[in-house]
Amino acid sequence: SEAVERREENGHQNKRLKRDADEEDAEEQNKKSPKRKIVLLMAYSGKGYHGMQRNVGSSQFKTIEDDLVSALVQSGCIPENHGEDMKKMSFQRCARTDKGVSAAGQIVSLKVRLIDDILEKINNHLPSHIRILGLKRVTGGFNSKNKCDARTYSYMLPTFAFAHKDHDVQEEVYRLDKETLEKVNKLLACYKGTHNFHNFTSQKGPRDPSAKRYIMEMYCGEPFVRENIEFAVIKVKGQSFMMHQIRKMIGLVIAIVKGYAAESIIERSWGEEKVDVPKAPGLGLVLERVHFEKYNRRFGNDGLHEPLEWTEEEEKIAVFKEQYIYPTIINTEREEKSMANWLNTLSIHDFNSSAVGMQANNKNSKNSSDLEGSDGCDDDSD
């Protein structure tokens, strides 16, 4: 029995020694790669996800951050308990893209262990439709949401959306003419500057100061053909956007170009009366890039930090969009006809009335447009 006791004691000692050695190794590893504040440049296709932001404790709705945090833990960048409580790694995303919305230039800030081959190791644990394309060191107090001065979104749509309602349109045959494109751009330019966008979101009154937003640019580029359908991309850059704002801005321009609403409705929408503004489908909306001009001026050339510009990664971003974002938008449009179905709901909107009769119309159009999910432009968490 003494021999057995000795063996057990030796066994316990060996286990203790092994555990101590493992802890020392981990400590040594942590010393070699201490935690540092960084930003990651992310690109992802949002189809099949309930947005960017993680809902801890809810496995019912899968988000982009669920996959990201899992990859950070598995690659050894963050301890497992940091994945359960994201505040421990000072995690912050620049914009909360919503259900189905993609991103080509999302930025997240967090503290990680700067392990060797960090990008390769994180990407090895991510699905191919989510990629980390770049990494930069930032100041210790950096917060990707608060330090962001502006965001650029794109919206890819089939050009038959601009065909006049009185014309019988064969969707695959339709091509956008120069005059219509000029009209689209003239209308989009009306949004530039500071306006009261209370009619372009829900739950904001006309006197709510936060409904005032500053749009720097908005235009539609030259059309191009993919899979026999002609598409165009609308770009919009603004300080920040409210929920549904971009989709409603585009929805109203489509309604005007198609002949459902008068051009004067845009000017009227800035006023205090409630205007019925249709919300274009969520498919096609992409967070293109986020801007940190003030941060770059202050810290970009201080000799310790790099400016948050991604010129070297631009080719990777373009390749990712061609491989994962554009094909998803094109194929989903072909299969589900989200734009064509939504266009059929425009006739039930009353663009001449103010608040009267709008509730009934909103109920009728809710089923077709809300299935797409919101555009996730509530960057400032209003």
Catalytic center residues = 98
Q: State how beta strands 229-238 and 224-226 pair.
A: antiparallel
Torsion sign over Cα 199, 201, 204, 210? negative
Is residue 214 marked as binding? no
User: CA-CA distance, 174 to 178, in Å (whole number)?
Assistant: 13
What is residue 303's three-state secondary structure? coil
Region for residue 87 given its phi and psi (left: phi exceeds 0; alpha: psi -120 to 50; beta: otherwise)? alpha
Q: Which residue in 42, 35, 37 sits closest to 134, CA to CA? A: 42
Distance CA 74, CA 68 (A): 10
For residues 338 and 133, the answer to whether their CB atoms sit within 8 Å is: no
Angle at 372 between CA 371 and CA 375, to 5 degrees: 135
* 84 backbone dihedrals φ, ψ, rounded to 5°: -80, -30
User: Residues annotated as binding site?
Assistant: 153
